[in-house]
Amino acid sequence: GWKTEDIRSSIFHPRSSTFNAMWLIVGLGNPGLKYEWTRHNCGFMVVDDLARRARKEIKAPECQALTARSTIGGEQALLVKPS
């Protein structure tokens, strides 16, 4: 099983960890055309841009959100847009 010191080490030194770390990037916004290009959708726009740059489409419905898995700057990432 996991030892407490392994977990502490992975939190403070993720590069030396045996855990597979992944960034969770959540873009908050409001659905609908009314908010599409407003400050209320800044988070959605950031996640959409990250997905575009990674050539990913955010379309997988998971946990009441649209998601895409990607690699950004050599790091694994899960892009999330809550619905």
Catalytic positions: 40
76-79, long-range: CB within 8 Å, 24+ apart, which pairs? Answer: 76/20, 76/21, 76/22, 76/23, 77/22, 77/23, 77/24, 77/25, 77/50, 78/22, 78/23, 78/24, 78/25, 79/25, 79/27, 79/47, 79/50, 79/51
